[in-house]
Amino acid sequence: MTTSTEDHTSLVSGYLQHIADQCAADDSGRVADYIPELAAVDPGRYGLSLCAHDGYIYSVGDTATEFTIQSISKPLTYAMALGGHGADAVDAKIGVEPSGEAFNEISVDARRRPRNPMINAGAITAASMLLPSERQVAPETVEAAFAGLVDFYSACAGRRLVVDEQVYRSERATGSRNRAIAYMLDSFGALTTDPDAALDLYFRQCSLRVTTEDLAVIGVTIACGGTNPRTGRRVFSRSTAQRLLSVMTTCGMYDGAGDWVTSVGIPAKSGVGGGILGSLPGQLGIGVFSPRLDAHGNSVRGVDTCRHLSADLGLHMF
């Protein structure tokens, strides 16, 4: 017996709904409140989207709800730095080793490089590489760099992304920890540009709004070697995609990374907005959203969802 596309879609949707129901029962964890605007979200929200390598999207739950991308921006800005400067120049500034520490630690190695691009220190350094090497960067120059960044992220998502101005202002107003990180890096000579300009770019990139469908499409674009299968557009090179998948595997879930690789085995990146992006090489992009976070800063229901998907569908890479 053959199955029609419609039957197949309703079969997958039924399965995703089953996962959503199972995960919705868990109301543990806490919404991030260290940035006041993040505390304003509805903690009960849940959305899940998968995008297959042919570009087909399957979704359940609050998949039209927008939330801020937060740290899920980090692989994309790293991709831009790699595309703009080449791997050797980026490696000279940012390591690729897991830090084993929280995302906002000033984790640097013996060469005083941030340990990897998935923690704040590495992400601020990657953002600095998108700016000119000047001690004082004019606001218009940051604006122009941000416009380029939005174009790049939007090409990955296959639709125009916009910034959440309130979250951006909230990030900027309460960003002492990130300022401390940027100024410490600057004192080491790790940044080639104005630390305030790098921070501004970083705060803005974290404040872009996405849906779970956007995350699933970005995930599949990475999984498909840098080509967005929904638009057919090549956004970054295959070697950059390979890099992203590697650092997402080892460092994407912070100090929870080892447990994640063992139990889920899908390259991923989380954000304190409650999103998780998964990217299974050659196969699938995953976007899941639920704002309550565990002690590592990862979405509780999001992690649980990915565990179920991996076990039920045999998605573990190894």
Catalytic residues: 71, 74, 202, 254, 272
The residue among 295, 296, 304, 291 whose CA lies nearest residue 46 is: 291
Residue the block writes with tokens 């000033």: 106
Tokens of 129: 């590489």
CB neighbour class for 52 (10 Å; exposed up to 12, middle 13-18, buried from 19)? middle
Nearer to ligand DON, 271 or 278 (CB): 271
Q: How far apart are CA 184 and CA 13, in angstroms?
A: 48
310/216 Cα distance (integer angstroms): 15
Residue 71 within binding range of ligand DON, rule CB under 6 A? yes
Tell me: is residue 228 an annotated ligand-binding position: no
- 205 binding ligand DON? (CB under 6 A): no
Tell me the angle at which helices 74-85 and 139-157 cross, rounded to the nearest 10 degrees.
Answer: 110
Name the 3-class secondary structure at 210.
strand
Number of residues that bind ligand DON (CB under 6 A): 11
SS3 state at 63 = coil
- Member of 16, 57, 82, 206 binding ligand DON (CB under 6 A): 206
Q: Output the smallest distance, CB 2 to ligand DON, in A.
A: 44
Nearer to ligand DON, 53 or 296 (CB): 296
Cβ 120 to ligand DON, closest distance in Å? 5
Q: By the 8 A CB rule, do 48 and 212 touch?
A: yes
Contact 97, 116 (CB under 8 A): yes
Give the nearer residue to ligand DON in terms of CB position, either 65 or 70: 70
Cα 233 from chain centroid (whole Å): 20
Residue 288 known to bind ligand: no
Amino acid identity of residue 239, one-letter, is S
Contact set for ligand DON, span 75-134 (CB under 6 A) = 103, 120
Please indicate if the annotation marks 272 as binding a ligand. yes
Choices 143-151, 152-160, 220-228, 264-272 (CB under 6 A): range interacting with ligand DON: 264-272
Residue choice 37, 171, 200, 213 for contact with ligand DON (CB under 6 A): 171
State yes or no: residue 70 binds ligand DON (CB under 6 A): yes
178 lines the binding site for ligand DON (CB under 6 A): yes
Q: Of 139, 195, 204, which Cα lies nearest the Cα of 165?
A: 204
Q: Which of 161, 297, 303, 306 binds ligand DON (CB under 6 A)?
A: 297
* CB of 171 vs ligand DON, minimal distance in Å: 5
CA 220, CA 58: separation in Å to the nearest integer? 13
As measured in angstroms, the least distance from the Cβ of 130 to ligand DON is 17
Write the single-letter amino acid at 132.
P
Shortest CB 72 distance to ligand DON, Å: 7
> What DSSP designation does 55 have?
S
Cβ closer to ligand DON: 60 or 72? 72
d(CA 312, CA 306): 10
Q: Find the binder of ligand DON among 48, 182, 248, 272 (CB under 6 A).
A: 272
Residues found near ligand DON in the complex (CB under 6 A): 70-71, 103, 120, 171, 178, 206, 270-272, 297
Report the binding-site residues for substrate.
71, 120, 171, 178, 202, 254, 272
